[in-house]
A and B are shown apart, each in its own frame.
Chain A
Amino acid sequence: MGFVDLAFQLAQMLVVIALAPLLTGLVRKVKARLTRRRGASVFQPYRDLYRLARKEAVVADSASWLFRIVPYLVFGSTWVAAALVPTFATGLLFSWSADLIAIVALLGVGRFFLALAGMDVGTAFGGLGASRESMFATLAEPAMLITVFSLALIAGSTQLSTVAAFMASSHVGLRVTLGMGLVALVMVALAENGRIPIDNPATHLELTMVHEAMVLEYSGRHLALIELGAMLKLLLYMSLIACVFAPWSLAIADAGVGDRLLGLVAYVLKLAVGGGALGAFETSIAKMRVFRVPDFLGAALMLGFLGALLLFVSRTLK
């Protein structure tokens, strides 16, 4: 407790928001290079956001007040969630205010409002996006929660900081459940961030879009916030997977400044590796039909459930 912890919590909030566009830029760059294009600079997302934020916002005539506050709500809830996931150090000052289940639910808040905003203007595309997003979420969210159960049972806590600290310690070893959890979590992360093969973040072909269809009516600063929220969400999932399954060099609570700096460098490297892997994966696979997505997510759900089941029958929690 004290000033140092508060400073690190604030630093974490700033780090996530500063790095999120860079990560998206990196993924785009990797995808461009792999398809033999030169691609825009990795800093292009910052310029896009700046440009969007300075434009006037055009709001449809039929939109209600909800349409105008949703970007702030979505951004706010995603930012809070992202600030609670350990990036370079555990022991965040406010990590006890929301555990992993609450983080999943906070992301649910963002999705809830985004889906409502999609339906607000009263166009066919908005409803299409909201409907499909809701269908994906009905499978992705339970898959995520069940994976959270497994992690919580292994670490004996649903606090993400405690889970990360436990994973970083040497008591873990290789577990079947962890492997299943990792696969399930990656599948959920792909779906929740609207990446290929679930959804294509670059598409504007009407019938294939999901996330883009929901935010079709947004412009200007509203769109900038929603884009930034989506970038934060990608960063959040990557940090989450990194801090649980690759907690190397993660600074544990009460670590010195040197360790924390090391953690920060390691974190940026992890993000770079993750971004590169995501770009390569997205280039190597085709987008699937909408009605094959439930099979994909159902597999994630089943993997998570099997993992949790193994734990329930094989271990007692102290």
Chain B
Amino acid sequence: MSALQSLMIVDGALLALSVVAMVLAMSNRPTGRAIYAASLVLCAIGFVAALSFLLGRETPQSMSLPIGLPWIGAHFRFDALSAFFLALIEFGGAIASLYAIGYGRHEETPGRVTPFYPAFLAAMGLVPLADDAYTFLVCWECMSLASWALVMSHHRDPENGRAGYIYLLMASFGTMALLIAFGVLAGADGSYQFSTLRAASPSLGIATTGLLFALLGTGSKAGLAPLHVWLPLAHPAAPSHVSGLMSGVMTKVAVYAFARFAFDLVGPADWRWSVPVLIAGGASGFIGVLHALMETDLKRALAYSTIENLGLIFLGLGLALAFKGNDMAGAAALAMTAALMHALNHMLFKSLLFFGAGAVLTATGARDMGKLGGLLNLMPATGLFMLIGAMAISALPPLNGFVSEWLILQAVLLGPQFPQWTLKLLAPATGATIALTAALAAACFVRLFGVSFLGRPRSAAAAKARDVDPYSLTAMGALAGLCLLSGIFPGLIIDALKPVVLLAVGGTMPLQSKLAWLSIAPIAASRSSYNGLLVFFFMIMSGFLASFVIHRLASAALRRAPAWDCGFPIADPATQYTAQSFSQPIRRVFGGVMFRASEKVIMPPPGDMSPARLTVQGYDLVWHGFYLPIERGVSYAATRLNGLQFLTIRQYLSIVFAALVALLVIIAGAT
């Protein structure tokens, strides 16, 4: 059986599982664990199929099924690009299912989650297989709707209702943009098979228009600024295993879709295409991480950080496009590898972090960092895994986040080779954005981990927290282990990505596995190299050496005592730094423009017993500067057009007549 057939069977079985879950949910039987276990097995099979295809460097496979549009059917194709993203999707699905076997028990209304969960997995697994526009859009829309249903599973919370509404709006907008993109690229003949789109060589204007709409459509799903507003509302609203899937995996489906458009469907690349991608990526990175730094809700901070990481991935894709447009295949391969690796790494650590946030939610019932604290002592395993995830996402060596950011920076350093002035200027700006974003992300995760896991508990619920069930811990432990492994053996991943990169940009990076000691050298060893294994080994060795020497030769005595705190330890945990106070200096430095944050201090006059108050007014640049004007414009136009509802039949007829004449004139002018 070919890999494509097994994947189709897996997706079909997931859909069937969804129907079974629906029936069981209607008859009110508690079946969550069985559904999740079945999803785990199916996703694992899909993962093995996709991975063996990728590692075996097999030739593309295709099939068509007589479903969907009559006489056209549905076409599916499986090549290296699909294989990489499918491996990522199925792995993410499997690990989320494993986590959900334990976590799903705490769900209040499991019947609202289990029917949609396998369908969501199946839809995500089908998008990278689709080989014609119709199948693609149907799968894409199923993915949106299934995830929308999951977001709405706690629908009684009014905030979730709003999140679901905005998500639905933005998802429809994204699908509409994709529809237009396909329409523009397919031309008047309207053959929507990908092979026809690939063979057609559209003019530069058509291809650019198509790609811009594709960027809008995929960017709205990936959460690129300014289309990101739904993401921090919708991702956290879902149950935590679904949040992990949406942030870690569904955003990668959007990356796949963009890569499929930009590197495959639209034909030979033009360097100008990279400009909007780089700008959108940079803006998302910066906006995302700054919002993450201000957010006090654990899951929402993680969702904002997703926007940041997707920004980084798109920066990598943009650089790859720019290099490809200038026929620099080697450099394009480096940038593309960096982007794909960051996509993989982000799936690993963002799923891990969302699962950790879910564990915290289970243990304490709180998502607000202001109610947490001291969890590392109470939930040691979850704390350790969260710490590893936080290190990885902060791009600290020897973990995996550092490797992919290092690779992107190496690609940036090839920037002076660009012949175009625009790109020569954009490349260092990209580098500066990545450096700034990485530093802000580190601060963000010091804050997130420090406030929720360190210090003393800030609420009674947090003081009673206990580690969660073994399934959840296994899932988190596996992800944490993979964050470390892919950080110290990046060369293996780079080599495995070779066929994908070759397909996308027509070049490859040098073979890494022949380098000594498993180091990686993207261009040449004399230019730059990195060895995660040795760095890891050296850090551990020197730490242990210091520990050994000092315990042996100096002192090993330890005494527990009350905290020192300059001699005035106050027992109240409220005296600790909170999430807001931690980010206050950064808000003052960076927030002036972004948030127009203004602090107002109300100091009562002497003798007045009322408390002094400090109020901070926030402002969301994108929401207030972009969406609200649109909303106002729409409601203004709607109010004006309202008058059209109360005309006489004669007036309606004359409007219809005028419209007909106008259309005829346009058509006459066009031909």
Q: Chain A residues near B577 (CB, 8 Å)?
A: 119, 124, 126-128, 130-131
User: Which A residue sits closest to B289, measured CB to CB?
Assistant: A138
Contact of B377 among A64, A97, A99, A115 (CB under 8 A): A64
A251 at the binding interface (Cβ < 8 Å): no
In the complex the two chains form, is A291's CB within 8 Å of B585's CB? Answer: yes
User: Which B residue sits closest to A123, measured CB to CB?
Assistant: B565
Complex-state Cα separation, A97 to B546, whole angstroms = 21
Complex-state Cα separation, A11 to B428, whole angstroms = 38
With A115-B450, A316-B417: A137-B543 Cβ-Cβ less than 8 Å: no
B456 at the binding interface (Cβ < 8 Å): yes
The stretch of A219-227, A233-241, A279-287 in contact with B is: A219-227
Q: Chain A residues near B443 (CB, 8 Å)?
A: 134-135, 137-138
Give the interface centre of B454, B455, B529, B569 by most chain A CB atoms within 10 Å. Answer: B454
A175 at the binding interface (Cβ < 8 Å): no
Instruction: Mark B366-406 against chain A: 1 for CB-CB distance below 8 A, else 0.
Output: 00000001101100100100010001001111000010001
- Within B489-548, the residues touching A (CB, 8 Å) are 517, 519, 525-531, 534-535, 538-544, 546-547
A276 at the binding interface (Cβ < 8 Å): no
Q: Chain A residues near B414 (CB, 8 Å)?
A: 317
In the complex the two chains form, is A73's CB within 8 Å of B539's CB? Answer: yes
In the complex the two chains form, is B528's CB within 8 Å of A137's CB? Answer: no
Please give the distance in Å from A226's CB to the nearest CB on chain B: 11
Complex-state Cα separation, A142 to B584, whole angstroms = 20
In the complex the two chains form, is A149's CB within 8 Å of B412's CB? Answer: yes
Complex-state Cα separation, A134 to B575, whole angstroms = 20
Instruction: Mark A134-160 against chain B: 1 for CB-CB distance below 8 A, else 0.
Output: 110111111001100100110011110
Q: Chain A residues near B383 (CB, 8 Å)?
A: 64
- Within A153-173, the residues touching B (CB, 8 Å) are 153, 156-159, 162
With A76-B542, A127-B576: A108-B562 Cβ-Cβ less than 8 Å: no
A312 at the binding interface (Cβ < 8 Å): yes
The stretch of B122-130, B134-142, B549-557 in contact with A is: B549-557
Q: Chain A residues near B449 (CB, 8 Å)?
A: 116
With A134-B582, A142-B432, A158-B410: A99-B528 Cβ-Cβ less than 8 Å: yes
Q: Chain A residues near B531 (CB, 8 Å)?
A: 96-98
- Within B394-446, the residues touching A (CB, 8 Å) are 394-397, 402, 406, 409-410, 412-417, 421, 424-425, 427-428, 431-432, 435-436, 438-440, 442-443, 446
A55 at the binding interface (Cβ < 8 Å): yes
In the complex the two chains form, is B527's CB within 8 Å of A158's CB? Answer: yes
Q: Chain B residues near A36 (CB, 8 Å)?
A: none
In the complex the two chains form, is B432's CB within 8 Å of A79's CB? Answer: no
Please give the distance in Å from A118's CB to the nearest CB on chain B: 8
Please give the distance in Å from B435's CB to the nearest CB on chain A: 4
A4 at the binding interface (Cβ < 8 Å): no
In the complex the two chains form, is B562's CB within 8 Å of A61's CB? Answer: yes
B573 at the binding interface (Cβ < 8 Å): yes
Complex-state Cα separation, A140 to B440, whole angstroms = 11
Complex-state Cα separation, A57 to B538, whole angstroms = 26
Please give the distance in Å from B564's CB to the nearest CB on chain A: 6
In the complex the two chains form, is A61's CB within 8 Å of B563's CB? Answer: yes
Complex-state Cα separation, A293 to B609, whole angstroms = 36
Contact of A62 among B439, B456, B546, B550 (CB under 8 A): B456
B447 at the binding interface (Cβ < 8 Å): yes
In the complex the two chains form, is A157's CB within 8 Å of B528's CB? Answer: yes
With A127-B577, A221-B550: A146-B374 Cβ-Cβ less than 8 Å: no
Please give the distance in Å from B290's CB to the nearest CB on chain A: 10
User: Which A residue sits closest to B523, measured CB to CB?
Assistant: A157
Q: Chain A residues near B439 (CB, 8 Å)?
A: 108, 137-142
In the complex the two chains form, is B530's CB within 8 Å of A141's CB? Answer: no
User: Which A residue sits closest to B380, measured CB to CB?
Assistant: A65
Complex-state Cα separation, A60 to B455, whole angstroms = 11
In the complex the two chains form, is B561's CB within 8 Å of A59's CB? Answer: yes
Complex-state Cα separation, A122 to B387, whole angstroms = 17
Q: Chain B residues near A316 (CB, 8 Å)?
A: 416-417
B558 at the binding interface (Cβ < 8 Å): yes
Please give the distance in Å from B632's CB to the nearest CB on chain A: 35
Q: Chain A residues near B455 (CB, 8 Å)?
A: 62, 119-122, 127
- Within A47-85, the residues touching B (CB, 8 Å) are 50, 53-62, 64-66, 69, 72-73, 75-77, 79-80, 83
With A105-B396, A141-B435, A149-B431: A97-B561 Cβ-Cβ less than 8 Å: no
- Within A75-111, the residues touching B (CB, 8 Å) are 75-77, 79-80, 83, 94, 96-99, 101-102, 105-106, 108-109, 111
In the complex the two chains form, is A305's CB within 8 Å of B456's CB? Answer: no
Instruction: Mark B576-597 against chain A: 1 for CB-CB distance below 8 A, else 0.
Output: 1100011111101110000000
Contact of B589 among A60, A65, A135, A315 (CB under 8 A): A135
In the complex the two chains form, is B538's CB within 8 Å of A80's CB? Answer: yes
Q: Chain A residues near B557 (CB, 8 Å)?
A: 56-57, 220
Complex-state Cα separation, A101 to B569, whole angstroms = 40
A selection of 12 A-B contacts at a CB cut-off of 8 Å is A73-B539, A75-B546, A98-B530, A102-B535, A111-B442, A123-B576, A127-B581, A130-B446, A138-B589, A140-B439, A291-B588, A315-B416
Which chain B residues have a beta carbon within 8 Å of chain A's beta carbons? 373-374, 376-377, 380, 383, 387, 391, 394-397, 402, 406, 409-410, 412-417, 421, 424-425, 427-428, 431-432, 435-436, 438-440, 442-443, 446-447, 449-451, 454-456, 517, 519, 525-531, 534-535, 538-544, 546-547, 550-551, 554-555, 557-566, 569-570, 573, 575-577, 581-586, 588-590
- 4 A-B pairs closest in CB distance: A127-B577, A122-B455, A76-B543, A56-B557
Q: A97-B535, A99-B529 are in contact. List 8 more A-B contacts (CB 8 A).
A: A61-B560, A64-B383, A72-B547, A119-B455, A122-B456, A157-B527, A157-B528, A305-B428
